[in-house]
Amino acid sequence: MIIYDLACQHEHRFEGWFQSSEDFDEQCARRLIACPQCGSPVVRRVPSAVHLARAAQPLPVEPAPPPTRKKPNIDLRGGVLAAYRQLTEVLLADCEDVGDRFAEEARRIHYLEVEERSIRGEATAAEYDALRDEGIDVLRLPLLKPGDLH
């Protein structure tokens, strides 16, 4: 086990434990390491110093919980197709269409580079698999556009 001293782009310092230097390099390349204080995935190794007594660092501020969303009121009495239409309308109304930039924007949201929000768009099968491999929760749905269901 190797312990590295790390710092993010904002100079927040923390340590990481890795199986090997190759393990660190691989996790860093896949952006799996993030600053525990600000969430930035841009990290680097910093020189290790002898552990001396130092002033206590302030604890990171916990991020605010996501805003609660109103549950959609989907009427199931009209049948499956009607419920699907209602669900589609809710999904379309509550998310931003980022088009073919979906994979890029999903990563930016996951790595806290931009504000969290609901998005939809298009991704290739390879992009979808890469997002899942990075631990980014995505859901593959048929292409939804207003007016498609009649």
| pLDDT value of position 52 | 47
| pLDDT value of position 121 | 87
Instruction: Tell me if 19 sits within 8 A of 2, measured CB to CB.
Output: yes
Domain boundaries, the chain: 2-45, 76-133
Instruction: Tell me if 69 sits within 8 A of 98, measured CB to CB.
Output: no
**pLDDT value at 28 more than 50:** yes
Which two tokens mark 138? 């995505």
Between residues 59 and 126, which one has the greater pLDDT? 126
Closest alpha carbon to 123 in 109, 139, 146, 147: 139
Mean of all residue pLDDT scores within the chain: 79
pLDDT in tens, 73-130: 776 777 777 777 777 777 777 788 898 999 999 999 998 988 888 888 888 989 989 9
Instruction: Tell me if 15 sits within 8 A of 4, measured CB to CB.
Output: yes
